[in-house]
């Protein structure tokens, strides 16, 4: 698509986000993170030119390459994938705006060590496995609040900002909704949390109606 086609397309996505957020409240603000994992630097640039600033990748290597290629642009890079311990240093070299998928205490402790050595901090979200799926990473809902506090206490160089979850993997809308509600309830119970990252291309309107204030949109943003 050329830039004008992108503009028309993005206007439509933004309208859908607007409609969903207004069902919650006119004060409910939702941020769109454009997930660029299926897209090229050139396509990212087109979205940048029509106003999109926040982009996300799910592989450290891709994040490194694209952020390097586009370093002249003032982009805000998010890392939304699961982080292997041996990639921590590579991620910290990039210093992303937000890491969405802090999914274990072990990872938090490893991150803390490396952050302390570098004398840096990292904004992060705790990933919740809200539908308790074997295929997914994240903390189980029952332990999430307790672990959130534990990480806050033990890992002062990690700034926990809230939670992230991927909706239940099913066509049953009620179950997807339930998984979002579970995450939202945890989010509301956390003192000081400000970000509830949930909703992807196939379910972002439902996620927003359940309280999400950050959606991670890949295919729908780039029209893939
Ligand atoms: C790929 C990905 C997305 C975006 O997926 P779409 O369905 O293309 O919108 C969101 N979050 C995570 C963690 C992803 O890996």
Q: What is the DSSP letter of 87?
A: G
Weakly modelled stretches of the chain, pLDDT under 50: none
201 lines ligand 1 (CB under 6 A): yes
Model confidence over 73-94: pLDDT tens digits?
Answer: 999 999 999 999 999 999 999 9
Is 57 in a helix, a strand, or coil? strand
Q: In the prediction, which pLDDT does 170 show?
A: 95
Whole-number Å distance between alpha carbons of 33 and 216: 5
Structural tokens at position 33: 């993170």
Element (H, E) at 140: none
> Residue 139 pairs with which residues in a beta bridge?
128
Backbone φ, ψ for residue 187 (5° rounding): -55, -45
- Which domains occur in the chain, in start order? 3-222 (3.20.20.10)
- Count of CB atoms situated within 10 Å of the CB of 220: 20
Report whether residue 82 contacts ligand 1, using a CB cutoff of 6 Å: no
The pLDDT, as a whole number, for residue 3 is 86
- Measuring CA to CA, which residue among 161, 171, 136, 140 is closest to residue 213? 161
Residue 126: predicted pLDDT: 98
Q: Tell whether ligand 1 has an atom less than 6 A from the beta carbon of residue 219.
A: yes
Give, using CA atoms, the residue closest to atom 7 of ligand 1. Answer: 201
Cβ of 80 below 6 Å from ligand 1: yes
- Predicted pLDDT at 96: 98
């Amino acid at each position: 698509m050329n830039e004008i086609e992108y503009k028309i397309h993005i206007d439509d996505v933004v309208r859908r986000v607007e409609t969903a957020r207004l069902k919650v409240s006119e004060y409910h603000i939702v941020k769109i993170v454009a997930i660029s994992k299926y897209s090229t630097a050139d396509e990212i640039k087109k979205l940048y030119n029509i106003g999109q600033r926040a982009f996300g990748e799910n592989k450290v290597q891709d994040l490194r390459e694209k952020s390097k290629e586009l370093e002249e642009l003032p982009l805000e890079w998010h890392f939304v994938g699961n982080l292997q311990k041996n990639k921590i240093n590579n991620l910290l070299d990039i210093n992303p705006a937000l890491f969405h998928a802090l999914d274990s205490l072990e990872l938090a402790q490893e991150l803390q060590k490396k952050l302390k050595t570098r004398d840096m901090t990292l904004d992060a979200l705790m990933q919740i496995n809200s539908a308790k799926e074997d295929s997914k990473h994240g903390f189980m809902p029952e332990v999430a609040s307790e672990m959130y506090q534990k990480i806050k206490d033990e890992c002062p160089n990690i700034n926990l900002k809230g939670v992230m979850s991927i909706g239940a993997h099913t066509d049953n809308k009620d179950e997807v909704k339930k998984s979002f509600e579970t995450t939202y309830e945890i989010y509301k119970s956390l003192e000081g949390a400000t970000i509830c990252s949930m909703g992807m291309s196939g379910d972002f309107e439902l996620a927003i109606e359940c309280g999400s204030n950050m959606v991670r949109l890949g295919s729908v943003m780039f029209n893939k």
